[in-house]
Amino acid sequence: MPTITIPKDLIKTEDLVIIPRRKYEEFLCVFKKKKYGQLDKDLDEAIEEVRQGKTVGPFCSVKELKKSLEK
pLDDT, tens digit, for every residue of 37-58? 666 777 788 888 878 878 777 7
Q: How far is CA 43 from CA 26, 59, 67, in A?
A: 25, 20, 27
Tell me what pLDDT residue 2 has: 76
Tell me what pLDDT residue 61 has: 85
Other C-beta atoms lying within 10 Å of the C-beta of residue 46:
12
Alpha helix segments (H runs only) across the chain: 8-11, 21-52, 62-70
Closest CA to 43 of 51, 17, 70, 32: 51
User: Higher confidence at residue 59 or residue 23?
Assistant: 23
Tell me what pLDDT residue 38 has: 65
Closest CA to 54 of 45, 62, 63: 45
